Amino acid sequence: MFDGLQLHRLGEALDALAPDVVWPATPDVRSRVRARIDRRRRWKPVILLLAAALALVIGSSAAIAGYLALRGATVQVVQTLPSPSPQPPGSVGTRYELGQRYASIGEAGRVAGFRPLAPNGLGTPDLVYWRADPGVITLVYRPRPGLPAVREDPEIGALVMEARGSVDQASFGKLVAVQGQVKAVAVNGAQGFWVTGAQHGFFFYQHGAGGQGDNFRLSGDALVWNQSGLVVRIESGLTEDRALQMAGTVHAAAV
């Protein structure tokens, strides 16, 4: 388990290594986030691919494997999280800017051009959305027995987000403050990460806007990993063990 302070130190170490390291191209989210931070503070975020930080500093072969496998998600380590974006009123899709609503996973997958994944353990999603930029399908599950509401929204039991995995073009990112923790875990035989310990920040990248971050909000515990060429993220109120069990039921949905 790596807490936020350890990750911050890893970021500092990476700064020192930067001249000798060839980094994948990372979209610029700094300008959108920086505007929400108290200008009296000096903000020096370090953009990391989740496993790259562990691999380059710790030298772990498992972390290196995770870096090569985990695509499409970034994390920034910050001392303090910026204020979240104002949330517009309306439906879940409107509040979280999830894009266009579709009647089924299959329909969204046909529009997206890839075969979505879905957790059997959660059954049929209550809502399905496709956001063309940055190319994310979101499955929304309402709270139910065995699926408590997330602390940030009583209408949501789980958000399952997925996009094509890519090293050089992330679809969403996270900001983790020093109170947070990032734990390397195995998910369906691949490297994944469990982000917990405190609320962390979540945002979509906007590829059409030059990689700017969009709709910064606070998120509870989340699990992120790569599977079948996609990056998958489950945000829920489940414990780590239950979230991993749920991820173990993820399969390719019919399109």
User: What pLDDT score was predicted for residue 198?
Assistant: 85
Predicted confidence at residue 86, as pLDDT, reads: 86
What local confidence, expressed as pLDDT, does residue 251 receive? 92
Range of the domain at 140: 2-252
Q: pLDDT of the chain along its 255 residues, tens only?
A: 545 555 555 555 545 544 444 444 444 444 554 444 333 333 333 334 444 444 333 333 333 333 333 688 887 777 888 888 888 889 999 999 999 999 999 999 999 999 999 999 999 999 999 999 999 999 999 999 999 999 999 999 999 999 999 877 889 988 888 788 888 899 998 888 899 988 899 999 988 766 666 778 999 999 999 999 999 999 999 999 999 999 999 999 877
The full DSSP string for the chain is -EEHHHHHHHHHHHHHHGGG--PPP----HHHHHTTS-TTS----EEE-HHHHHHHHH--HHHHHHHHH--SEEEEEESSPPPPPPPPSSSHHHHTT--EEESSHHHHHHHHTS--EEEGGG-S-SEEEEETTTTEEEEEE--BTTBPPBTTBTT-SEEEEEEE--SSS-SEEEEEETT-EEEEEEETTEEEEEEESS-EEEEEEEGGGTSEEEEEEEE--EEEEEETTEEEEEEES--HHHHHHHHTTEEEPP-
pLDDT at 232: 96
**pLDDT for position 48:** 40
pLDDT, residue 211, reads: 64
Number of domains the chain contains = 1
Q: What is the pLDDT of residue 79?
A: 81
